Amino acid sequence: MKDLNLYLIRHGQTEWNIKDRMQGSQNSPLTTDGVLGAKITGQYLKDIPFVSAYSSPQQRAVETRDYILSQRNDSVPVHTLDGLCEMDFGLWEGQPVPELLKLPEFNLYMHEPEKFHAITNQGEKYYDVLLRMQNSLDNIVKNAPDKGNILVVSHGTALRLLICVLNNGDWRKHRDENYFPRILNTSISVVNYQGNGSEGHYYVNYFNNVDHIKK
């Protein structure tokens, strides 16, 4: 039986994060604070013996992963998985959120995930993102040794959706801040997996922890 701890981390702060622009399939650079946050996270986790480290192939996630690992004295095998990418926002990519709030479909995206079908923006639907994130986690544990810790760097919207469901939440309600919080930059969420690699269960130990950043 496998017993694995998955450290799920959102990438560091980016230029589009502070400019309140939609950032999904497209990328913007990490800010100075974003780089610092990743390094602080690396310092906090430097004594955790990771057996492997994953990220999406998107630059902000790869750089965050590598900054975290740069604080260590050991070498950790690194991998990228397309399924860990941020939600694709289609025609909304890079657009200011205050302007998008004027659109009916964007308000469905914000407040009624089940009714958001990505028709006018030509992007992804929530449930499709959830499925690929779940499949990515399943692939990670399938290819992992029986015991160990694994670093996984992904993105805010994708992680919020995934962790909400792993925490026995309803994906249709995950955008409600009172139901499940927004995942913060370089926050740490730890999920334990127990099973045989093909069948098993995920248990959320804690999520969205930023105590290391506050210190």
Paired sense of beta strands 188-195 and 147-154, if any: unpaired
- In order of their start, the domains of the chain are 2-214 (3.40.50.1240)
pLDDT digits (tens, 9 = 90+) for 65-123: 999 999 999 999 999 999 999 999 999 999 999 999 999 999 999 999 999 999 999 99
pLDDT at 76: 98
Residue stretches of the chain with pLDDT short of 70: 215
Note the pLDDT of residue 215.
66
CA–CA separation, 117 and 190 (whole Å): 30
Amino acid at 58: Q
Measure the CA angle with vertex 72, ends 153 and 148; round to 5°: 60
Close Cβ partners of 112 (under 8 Å, ≥ 6 residues apart): none
Q: Where are the beta strands (DSSP E) in the chain?
A: 2-10, 50-55, 78-80, 147-154, 188-195, 200-209
Residue 93's pLDDT is what? Answer: 98
User: What pLDDT, on the 0 to 100 scale, is given for residue 198?
Assistant: 86
